[in-house]
Structure 1
Amino acid sequence: MSVTSQVSEKSALVLFSGGQDSATCLAWALERFDRVETVGFDYGQRHAVEMQARQTVRDELVKVLPQWADRLGADHVVDLTGFGAIGETAMTTERAIEADARGLPNTFVPGRNLIFLVAAAALADRRGLEVLVAGMCETDYSGYPDCRNETIQTMARALSLGLDKPVPVETPLMFLTKAQTWEMAERIGGRALVEAIVEASHTCYLGDRTHRHDWGYGCGTCPACELRATGYGEWVARP
């Protein structure tokens, strides 16, 4: 995980879903890199509203972080619906969210983050972007094994070998709680950035944009909403 505090002359591609974590990562990247592009993945997710939220989040970040607006470049969307159909999980089909036989939540899409990183690395190579930035986190990670630091950094090594060049993967949220993620957003862009993330980003697995909470929109009961709500509550209650 990078802890760089100065602006880098390098360029970055942010894996960008339109959720709280990737929105915070985009702000983090804009603070650090001269040129930043974003990529989203359509894998047939039930909460497809996140794909609609992506552009809104990008637009809002430009408004609240105008000092870095000229660093934000193109957005890309990769069609991975064929891959999503393989998984048939609660993320891609209408079924109750529960634990599977391995004890993993059935919202886990096998290999999703690995596929995302392969696609992102290929796109970055063609676009001349040097660093991948992703929002995986092993502190509040819903039990997904492909969110762990060892998984991501092992994948970074494999990509570096496969592309015959360094493919660094920065994961600024890897060891943070959701409360600390809200704190990071506040540090980068103040309350304006926090409010933009609350209002525009989407996390709810059920795609609920009708119920507005202090922490944003969502059903309030799915695992993603619970993590986001708990983290927000811990953040606002801090001393």
Structure 2
Amino acid sequence: MADRRFVMSVTPQASETSALVLFSGGQDSATCLAWALERYDRVETIGFDYGQRHAVEMQARQAVRSEMVNVLPQWADRLGPDHVVDLTGFGAIGETAMTTDRAIEADARGLPNTFVPGRNLIFLVAAAALADRRGLEVLIGGMCETDFSGYPDCRNDTIQAMSQALTLGLAKPSPIETPLMFLTKAETWALAERIGGAALVQMIVEASHTCYLGDRTQRHDWGYGCGTCPACELRAAGYNEWAARA
């Protein structure tokens, strides 16, 4: 059943030629950007400034975009403009360990306090509005429920419900592609390798940023980060599992 759902999630309609990638500059969104460039004639990116603690995330976005056209030159002409939306007001409402200086721990519901309530929902609404204005047909996000870190807005049911809501609210089909939804982190590294070989994998290692603490001083086999926060641990474990199979 999982395999069938995966195929349904990532197969675009024949008539769809353009896409907007929700792009944070992390491993997952970098892989999604490469995946989109492989499939769509026109690809744009959207990022969100929601008051995240570390500016390094916004810097990584531009580094990955710049290097993407170098490692995938065959699709360089498909990459269009980048857009950044100011959602700092929303970040203040969500106030979590992602936007304020506090220890990373579980909350009363058992969710990690890096979870920003409603973040992906807000992101998708903003992205859909921009896509409508820009004439972009498909939204692409790096949400994943296999290694989803406890975030309920990364689940496939949530994304499918948002697609339905956007379709109703915009009075037109609003597909949301999630190519990583049923992949482990190891499988995400493997997907990057399939699309762009060792060059793409190395670019993601060097340029993308995942660490919750914003650490770019420590270089590991899997990239830069503190090595101890949940995001680093998940990325490292996936990389090590993929590398062991390679």
TM-score band (shorter)? over 0.9
- State yes or no: 1:142 paired with 2:162: no
User: Any stretches of 5+ residues in structure 1 without a counterpart?
Assistant: none
Q: Aligned equivalents of 2:188 and 2:137: distance in 1?
A: 24
Given that 1:121 and 1:132 are in contact with CA atoms closer than 8 Å, whether structure 2 keeps it comes out as: yes
Q: 1:99 to 1:151 in 2, by over 3 A?
A: same
Q: Aligned equivalents of 2:19 and 2:30: distance in 1?
A: 14
Paired letter, 2:132: D
Q: Aligned equivalents of 1:126 and 1:31: distance in 2?
A: 23
Q: 1:7 to 1:234 in 2, by over 3 A?
A: farther
Moved runs in structure 1, 4+ residues, more than 3 A? 6-9
| Partner of residue 120 from structure 1, selected from 127, 150, 166 | 127
The 3-state SS of whatever aligns with 1:86 is: helix
- CA deviations 1:82-110 (Å, max 9, x no partner) are 00000110000000000000000000000
Q: 1:149 to 1:9 in 2, by over 3 A?
A: closer
Tell me which residue corresponds to 1:162: 169
The 3-state SS of whatever aligns with 2:59 is: helix
Tell me which residue corresponds to 2:10: 2
- State yes or no: 1:217 paired with 2:224: yes
The 3-state SS of whatever aligns with 2:41 is: strand
| Partner of residue 27 from structure 2, selected from 10, 20, 23 | 20
Q: Aligned equivalents of 1:52 and 1:145: distance in 2?
A: 27
The 3-state SS of whatever aligns with 2:108 is: coil
| Partner of residue 87 from structure 2, selected from 80, 89, 93 | 80
Q: Aligned equivalents of 1:168 and 1:85: distance in 2?
A: 29
Q: Aligned equivalents of 1:50 and 1:94: distance in 2?
A: 16
- RMSD, aligned α-carbons: 1.2
Given that 2:53 and 2:100 are in contact with CA atoms closer than 8 Å, whether structure 1 keeps it comes out as: yes
Given that 1:8 and 1:32 are in contact with CA atoms closer than 8 Å, whether structure 2 keeps it comes out as: no
Q: Aligned equivalents of 2:40 and 2:15: distance in 1?
A: 5
Q: Aligned equivalents of 1:192 and 1:39: distance in 2?
A: 24
Quote how far apart the aligned CAs of 1:53 are.
Answer: 0.8
Could you state the TM-score of these two structures normalised by the residue count of structure 1?
0.97
Q: Aligned equivalents of 2:149 and 2:109: distance in 1?
A: 14
Tell me which residue corresponds to 1:182: 189
Quote how far apart the aligned CAs of 1:60 are.
Answer: 0.7
Paired letter, 1:39: I
**Percent of pairs with identical residues:** 85
The 3-state SS of whatever aligns with 1:40 is: strand
The 3-state SS of whatever aligns with 2:109 is: coil
Given that 1:12 and 1:36 are in contact with CA atoms closer than 8 Å, whether structure 2 keeps it comes out as: yes
Q: Matched residue pairs, number?
A: 238
Given that 1:47 and 1:204 are in contact with CA atoms closer than 8 Å, whether structure 2 keeps it comes out as: no
Could you state the TM-score of these two structures normalised by the residue count of structure 2?
0.95
User: Any stretches of 5+ residues in structure 2 without a counterpart?
Assistant: 1-8
**Correspondence list, 1:5-154, <5 A:** 10-154=17-161
Q: Aligned equivalents of 1:7 and 1:107: distance in 2?
A: 38
Given that 1:134 and 1:170 are in contact with CA atoms closer than 8 Å, whether structure 2 keeps it comes out as: yes
Paired letter, 2:20: L
- CA deviations 1:187-230 (Å, max 9, x no partner) are 00000000000000000011000000000000001111010000
Given that 1:36 and 1:73 are in contact with CA atoms closer than 8 Å, whether structure 2 keeps it comes out as: yes
